[in-house]
């Protein structure tokens, strides 16, 4: 396993690139570079050592919890008179899989994640997971307060207009179905592929309107794959 208690002393080109990326994405200089190397290592690129396959999955588990706590903390203080149902819904809209994948893409996670790049589909679904793993690495390296600052200052405030999040209808599937009905066109969703990955089944979905293929979506459930496909179709057809 990575030596998580020691500061990496390597000065390789890849290490320097990772340090620069962490400074840009997180806003801090890493103290324990090994944590961040592990956070960016997807299981498709890992190797087995002594019966253990190193990957970022444990850090992803930790980061998921810390990210949820930091967002909940932020929303709790920002909306002092809203009930728990409202807070839970808004937090879900920020940290759901599609939202995190988009956010990870915007902050540059794609440039540092280590994965099997022969699988083009894989990058569509792992960026958000890697972002969660990065949150876990920052937490172990710098503590909760620094992690919360990273989440709020570098992720939420620059990339989420909370007024839009609160008032938006995120049911992309309903939008495209309603559009098709208004236009008098037949629409259907098809699950075109099911892959067995490390984290379970990965689904691919395709939208067909009047038998013409439109958006293709991915997700770890059929529902999420269809929502992703619908969102892409809405973009293609300028459905707002």
Task: Retrieve residue 195's tokens.
Answer: 């892959």
Shortest CA distance to 75 belongs to which of 56, 58, 61, 89?
89
Known catalytic residue: 116? no
Query: Is residue 160 left, alpha or beta, with left meaning phi > 0 and alpha meaning psi from -120 to 50?
Result: beta
Instruction: Please pick, among 57, 60, 64, 98, the residue that the annotation labels catalytic.
Output: 64
How far apart, in Å, are the Cα atoms of 30 and each of 24, 87, 115, 183, 206?
11, 32, 22, 54, 41
Which residue among 132, 202, 228, 231 is the active-site one? Answer: 132
Q: How far is CA 140 from CA 35, 51, 73, 137, 153, in A?
A: 8, 25, 19, 5, 19
Active site residue 228: no
Residue 109 in contact with residue 7, Cβ under 8 Å?
no
d(CA 155, CA 150): 7
Enzyme catalytic residues = 64, 132
């Amino acid at each position: 396993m990575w030596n998580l208690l020691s500061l990496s002393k390597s000065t390789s080109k890849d290490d320097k690139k990772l340090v620069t990326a962490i400074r840009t994405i997180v806003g801090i200089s890493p103290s324990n570079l090994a944590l961040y190397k592990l956070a960016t290592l997807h299981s498709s690129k890992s190797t087995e050592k002594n019966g253990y396959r190193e990957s970022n999955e444990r850090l992803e588990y930790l980061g998921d919890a810390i990210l949820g706590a930091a967002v909940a903390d932020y929303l709790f203080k920002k909306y002092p008179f809203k009930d728990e149902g409202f807070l839970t819904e808004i937090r879900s809209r920020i940290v759901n899989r599609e939202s995190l994948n988009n956010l990870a893409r915007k902050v540059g996670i794609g440039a540092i994640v280590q994965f099997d790049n022969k699988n083009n589909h894989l990058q569509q679904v792992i960026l958000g997971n890697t972002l969660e793993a990065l949150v876990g690495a920052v937490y172990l390296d710098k503590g909760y307060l620094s992690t919360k600052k990273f989440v709020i200052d570098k992720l939420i405030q620059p990339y989420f207009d909370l007024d839009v999040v609160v008032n938006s209808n995120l049911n992309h599937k309903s939008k495209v179905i309603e559009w098709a009905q208004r236009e008098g066109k037949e629409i259907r969703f098809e699950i075109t592929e099911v892959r067995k990955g490390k984290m379970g089944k990965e689904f691919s979905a395709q939208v067909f309107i009047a038998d013409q293929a439109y958006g293709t979506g991915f997700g770890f459930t059929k529902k999420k794959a269809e929502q992703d496909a619908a969102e892409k179709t809405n973009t293609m057809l300028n459905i707002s």
